[in-house]
Structure 1
Amino acid sequence: MPDSSNNDVVEYRAFTLDDIPAAHALSASVKWRHRADDWRLAARLGSGFAAVDQHGQLVGTALAFEFGAQAATLGMFIVSPEHQRRGIGRGLLDRLIAKLGSRMLLIHASNEGKPLCEARGFTRIDTIHQHQGAAFQPPLVSLPPGERLRPIGAKDTPRLAGLASRASGLDRTALMPALLDVASGIALDRDGELIGFALFRRFGDGHVIGPVIAPESPDQSRAKALISYWLALNAGMFVRVDTPLRYGLSSWLEGLGLPLVDTIEQMALNGPPSADATLTQFALTSQALW
């Protein structure tokens, strides 16, 4: 499906596994930390479009990740620096919106991408703070009586998917097994009942903690205990945590030595998602997957 702008001809087609090497190079050109393995995970979980120029070179990508029949997240949006401001991002977004129909759509938009999302009807629902660093000293965080951290077991997967679905408002039934293939997990247990968890996995040139899901508490102690667990085990490693502004963890993360390095707008179309008010997702799985 060709398009033209500024004497350039751009074709849009389905993104394939064969595009991963070029997509990895494209993400590096805009200073994303993604590995080829991160792209492979995204391509395994989602589908979308590639934009190629008249020479067949990949100049743009955009993927969608469907969660049940009612919702999807959008991510892996990149346009090469040499081809920006030529309508390619608009072409990619419009094709994803058309492909997904009336689903509730969720996206994390940069300052540059926000006007385009607003023009397509997306509205802001929160701001995400991206924290990352390697020099941290996590404190020991006390949990309420009867609660403890324990390893995640093989039989926990359905319960983890249920908690993740309730906390996000998205169907995480298919996502959770795929994440557990590439992540380690710690569970929050209350008198034998699994009530929260946090995953830790390789990402880019370091690791990411997320999702982090737990019941809220006045001092956010449960979320802090889950995050501190992984930081204590991985002192000196490069770690990233993406947390919604409204949950108030940013100052605490900065105090641990994970500085705020970026902010991004969380936006929804035909939304927002209907999450369970008794559970909170304190940290994202990723900006593409939420």
Structure 2
Amino acid sequence: MATLPDNRLTLRAMENDDIPTIQAMAQAEQWPHRKQDLAAMLELGAGIIALVEGKVIGSAMWWLWGETQATLGMILVSRPFRGGGIGRIIMETALDQIGARTIQMLTTESGLPLARKFGFRGVSEVRQHQGTSFTAPLIPLAPDERIRPMGQSDIAPVAALAKAACGLDRQALVPVLFEKGHAVVLDRGGETIGFAFFRRFGRGYVIGPVVAPDIPRAKALIAQWLGARSGEFTRLDMIGECGLHDWLEDLGLIRINRFVTMVRGEEPSIAQPGQSFAITSQALF
């Protein structure tokens, strides 16, 4: 355990036993994470917690994707301890642990000054939609296209398509999402050209990630899950320029938050043929 300059503050690695405390801190910020959500996130990554006289007062988590990239999230400081530099110490420690990688994180407007101090710059945005939809329009596909359940043999092509669309290595993530949730793929003549995952999260369910060749096919993939789970509370974290925000609001999934995508290092390279419409989560991207 490392002792920090004020003599009361210590940092240590996050453990599974810390999850109930982290969840309570998240709920104080009106973040919806369940214990199961946080456990799954920690299983994929690592984290630190900050303590004052043995009491947990802050946290950060990060995830390594391939050899050169990482995402950073779950940066929390309890309200009574804000303004004293604890957030800066947590960030410094997390960044040191991540090392020399391109790092991405999502932040609100209030978090921009701290992120910029550490060399992050804004490159795009994510808009959160949530609500309950009772309608799911039928979106026509081409004659040689169909939406079908994802199978084990789809994991590799889906991971490759996801990486091309978002720029992050998804080889570790896709098998976990497949195991813990559900997914459909958009098949064109035997080739996987899109996909949409669906899983339990927070107050209800989340649709994401979603990758598709264009807006109509992204709508078809999202509508597949909205139709299958009509009346369920559902959330999507959508890429800012995805072109689906008005459509989602018409279906009952309103925009409630906006987040800035920040990058430190070289911005990940995006390739075709797929386009990212919805991310996995605000931590994992």
TM-score, normalised with respect to structure 1: 0.94
Offset of residue 4 of structure 1: 5.5
Report the equivalent of 1:239.
234
SS of 1:112 mapped into structure 2:
helix
For residues 60-90 of structure 1, give each alpha carbon's deviation from its aligned partner in whole angstroms, at most 9, with x where no partner exists.
1101100011000001111112222221211
Contact kept, 8 Å, 1:125 with 1:267, in 2: the verdict is yes
SS of 1:246 mapped into structure 2:
coil
Report the equivalent of 1:141.
139
Contact kept, 8 Å, 1:72 with 1:104, in 2: the verdict is yes
Mark the CA change 1:93 to 1:136 in structure 2 (over 3 Å): closer, same or farther. Answer: farther
Question: What is the letter of the counterpart of residue 177 of structure 1?
Answer: P
Report the equivalent of 1:269.
264
Offset of residue 135 of structure 1: 3.8
Report the equivalent of 1:88.
86
Report the equivalent of 2:110.
112
C-alpha separation in 1, matches of 2:266 and 2:87? 22
Question: What is the letter of the counterpart of residue 14 of structure 2?
Answer: F
C-alpha separation in 2, matches of 1:122 and 1:287? 16
C-alpha separation in 2, matches of 1:69 and 1:57? 35
1:62 to 42, 60, 63: 60
Mark the CA change 1:237 to 1:4 in structure 2 (over 3 Å): closer, same or farther. Answer: farther
Q: How does 1:196-207 map to 2 (within 5 A)?
A: 196-207=194-205
Question: What is the letter of the counterpart of residue 19 of structure 2?
Answer: I
SS of 1:65 mapped into structure 2:
strand
SS of 2:267 mapped into structure 1:
coil
Question: What is the letter of the counterpart of residue 270 of structure 1?
Answer: G
For residues 139-189 of structure 1, give each alpha carbon's deviation from its aligned partner in whole angstroms, at most 9, with x where no partner exists.
111123421101111211111111111111111111111111111001100
Report the equivalent of 2:52.
53
Report the equivalent of 1:24.
23
Report the equivalent of 1:101.
99
Question: What is the letter of the counterpart of residue 29 of structure 1?
Answer: A
Offset of residue 136 of structure 1: 3.8
Mark the CA change 1:93 to 1:223 in structure 2 (over 3 Å): closer, same or farther. Answer: same
Residue correspondences, number:
284
Q: How does 1:179-198 map to 2 (within 5 A)?
A: 179-198=177-196
Report the equivalent of 1:3.
4
C-alpha separation in 2, matches of 1:228 and 1:85? 44
Report the equivalent of 1:75.
73
SS of 1:247 mapped into structure 2:
coil
Question: What is the letter of the counterpart of residue 114 of structure 2?
Answer: L
- Range with greater deviation from structure 2 (258-267 or 270-279): 270-279
- Range with greater deviation from structure 2 (265-274 or 86-95): 86-95
Question: What is the letter of the counterpart of residue 232 of structure 1?
Answer: G
Contact kept, 8 Å, 2:122 with 2:261, in 1: the verdict is yes
Report the equivalent of 1:12.
11
Identity of aligned residues (%): 41
Offset of residue 57 of structure 1: 1.3
Offset of residue 228 of structure 1: 0.6
Contact kept, 8 Å, 1:30 with 1:80, in 2: the verdict is no
1:288 aligns with 2:258: no
Question: What is the letter of the counterpart of residue 275 of structure 2?
Answer: T
Question: What is the letter of the counterpart of residue 117 of structure 2?
Answer: A
Offset of residue 21 of structure 1: 1.3
Contact kept, 8 Å, 1:214 with 1:222, in 2: the verdict is yes
SS of 2:198 mapped into structure 1:
strand
C-alpha separation in 1, matches of 2:99 and 2:39? 25
Question: What is the letter of the counterpart of residue 282 of structure 1?
Answer: F
Q: How does 1:142-161 map to 2 (within 5 A)?
A: 142-161=140-159
SS of 1:273 mapped into structure 2:
coil
Contact kept, 8 Å, 1:135 with 1:235, in 2: the verdict is yes
C-alpha separation in 2, matches of 1:103 and 1:204? 30
Report the equivalent of 2:164.
166
C-alpha separation in 2, matches of 1:68 and 1:281? 19
Offset of residue 222 of structure 1: 0.8
Question: What is the letter of the counterpart of residue 34 of structure 1?
Answer: H
- What are structure 2's unaligned runs of at least 5 residues? none
Offset of residue 3 of structure 1: 3.4
